[in-house]
Chains A and B, each alone.
Chain A
């Protein structure tokens, strides 16, 4: 152990890094909790196995093989290389050097795996960069993929390369230092041993390089950690709770609004007692909640959790039938808008605010509204987008982390219809047909059984199946 001023400095850096991160997470937690209550307790086993399969196991990523393999490399690299961070933390705090070396052969396996994964991560990141910036995979563009989203995606890739480079600098310098001094370095270094040739023979220079690599790796990780809450890369944390709290019911099952159930029951049965409205902590009646969602606080907290789990990969939008055929709707935009609006209205992030960077309008049709009406609906999401949805669940099926854009879309439609009576006119016609005739078309209910009249008469000769 060589305890020195370095260790005190490291303690300060680590406390500041983790402390700042905790502070940011608290802000995001507060943002998510502005959403409406929804009981997601219970079904622990089913939820855990889903998390294991979808989040840990990357199950839904494998709908597209190339990105799935590239992503798997970076993901496994992230997990395995972070075991090394444990060593760095102990070394940094207590002045030890490669404290885990007592593991012997296991340590060699660990460092060896780290090095190979580190190299693979660099290759995967290069491929990702190429797909994004040269090949131009279609789903990485779109009106919601604004300057910040494009920059953010590349920053993440650059940072990952820098972190890996720091790792290799640290290992290769340490290895060379040991070689020059005629000692053996515990562990296996399949990649760094190839790099020692380009390092100097001077021991002081090697010591400095090793320290630079070491500090760059850990400080880089701490900076990156604090960048996450402002970035789509936050999904590496939020994907897990998001999958855990995803819906377990059939995708076609929409929620039944409970307050409406009470009203309808009271209408049909005058003796039905509607439960008393919720009372605030001071005994006064709480403000009535609107039907559906106009702003982020009208959505359920799970919908807001969705927004912080989104990686902006665009798989939802690329399978959306409305988007595919050129309509304005993009499920990814709905989710990204939700996050932007939360951060505009409540806690804005945090270290720096992505909303302030490149604030271009996402759609020309977006409405410019006064402060009161500048809400998620209309301020960010236009009715035209919402009405284009066929509720086909393709976006829900496609999301690798079980985000449900459809739920948010339907909640906003509910607000348009029930609070603003702002449905397209043809839908209003359909509503009144159902009300008056019990069918969405203008047919008389007395004709409902007419199909049976000619069951065995007229139809006999009229169904020629042959072409």
Chain B
């Protein structure tokens, strides 16, 4: 971004990478996938690079309002300094904070989550999800992120993105407004859970796996129509079923849950951007 500013240019859109996108080894792959999509469609974008700092979301949810506002003011100063108008991010926590909590502190931007951004690219015909990997015959279920769904009412965009893939899409029983948290929000990501019967991500992973296996009570596709997906016998080759996520915390929690159930050989967790980049042939 600094390079761009030195040339006196302002990007059309700023890609807010987020801490997970920058540091988490697994989520760095999502960052790269999204960047490949941005470059593929020729969007005029920039990133802040080392000038980006934590939005303050985990501090705020944990009650540390002071630290949150310090972070917020610092980031707002940076963004306003570059004259940023439009921000896109793959992290629903960054999205929620910048979109909803920064305006009162002087940071007003058009903030878009990457699921909405990808949906727009698909609608405009810039991304067709063709020419890359085929998802034919594979099962995908989508895990709603609380900070995308309930917190900001975005339910359709990620589903619309998945629908361009040639795959069997299955809806979990607890989805959309009734979705179950992955267990990492509200700063839970950085602490051990309180004592209980079970960890939340295990509960959610079990539900996702049951859906992919066809063992759920009711099996619906994403349009709410009853699916004909048959129950798969245990141990059979599920041919790479996917739990799709749109949040770095959900990614970590669901992947841990799948691992805990020893199902990482046949079920993988992917972000929407990875799935689209792969279908578009942008990974190789």
Contacts and interface: CB of A to CB of B under 8 A. Distances in A.
Interface string B151-187: 1110000000000000000000000011111011111
B67 A392 contact: no
A250 B100 contact: yes
B109 interface: no
A447 interface: yes
Contacts of A233: none
26 contacts: A252-B151, A254-B101, A256-B69, A291-B66, A321-B183, A325-B183, A325-B202, A326-B195, A387-B194, A391-B186, A393-B146, A397-B150, A397-B178, A417-B64, A429-B190, A430-B59, A448-B22, A448-B49, A449-B22, A451-B17, A452-B47, A452-B49, A455-B36, A461-B284, A463-B29, A463-B283
Contacts of B195: 326-327
Contacts of A439: 19, 22-23, 53-54
Given A329-B194, A452-B32, A465-B278, 11 more contacts: A63-B178, A325-B199, A390-B181, A394-B150, A413-B63, A435-B70, A441-B23, A452-B47, A455-B32, A460-B284, A463-B278
Nearest to A439: B19
Contacts of B104: 256, 261
Interface of B: 17, 19, 21-24, 28-29, 31-33, 35-36, 47, 49-50, 52-54, 56, 58-67, 69-71, 73-74, 77, 96, 99-101, 104-105, 133, 138, 146-147, 150-153, 177-181, 183-200, 202-204, 238-241, 265-268, 270, 274-275, 278, 283-284
Interface stretch (A45-53, A214-222, A420-428): A420-428
Given A322-B194, A390-B185, A449-B49, A265 B73 contact: yes
Contacts of A25: none
A434 B60 CA distance: 12
Given A327-B194, A434-B54, A439-B19, A250 B65 contact: no
The 6 closest A-B pairs by CB, nearest first: A467-B240, A252-B151, A326-B197, A413-B63, A391-B186, A326-B196
Nearest to B62: A427
A291 B96 contact: no
Interface in A283-340: 291-292, 319, 321-322, 324-329
Given A319-B178, A463-B274, A260 B150 contact: no
A388 B197 CA distance: 13
Nearest to A249: B100
Contact of A325 (B36, B58, B74, B200): B200
Nearest to A328: B194
B56 A321 contact: no
B135 to A, nearest CB: 8
A434 B35 contact: no
A384 interface: yes
Given A256-B104, A416-B63, A465-B274, A426 B190 contact: yes
A434 B188 CA distance: 15
A337 B146 CA distance: 26
Contacts of A415: 63
A264 B73 contact: yes
Interface of A: 63, 249-254, 256-257, 260-261, 263-265, 267-268, 291-292, 319, 321-322, 324-329, 384, 387-394, 396-397, 410, 412-418, 423-424, 426-427, 429-431, 434-435, 438-441, 443, 445-452, 454-455, 459-461, 463, 465-467
A418 B66 contact: yes
B187 A427 contact: yes
B61 A254 contact: yes
Contacts of A322: 194, 196, 200
B146 A451 contact: no
Nearest to B93: A252
A257 B36 CA distance: 39
B66 A264 contact: yes
Contacts of B241: 467
Nearest to B71: A434
B61 A451 contact: no
Contact of B62 (A327, A430, A467): A430
Contact of A327 (B29, B74, B196): B196
A394 B146 contact: yes
B146 A392 contact: yes
B73 A268 contact: yes
A293 to B, nearest CB: 10
A449 B133 CA distance: 28
Given A264-B66, A394-B146, A434-B59, A465 B190 contact: no
Given A440-B19, A449-B50, A250 B151 contact: yes
Given A261-B105, A467-B241, A448 B50 contact: yes
Q: In this complex, which of A265, A325, A417 has the most chain B Cβ atoms within 10 angstroms of its Cβ?
A: A325
Contact of B101 (A256, A416, A465): A256
A445 B53 contact: yes
A263 B66 contact: yes
Contacts of A397: 150, 177-178
Given A392-B150, A465-B283, A467-B268, A438 B53 contact: yes
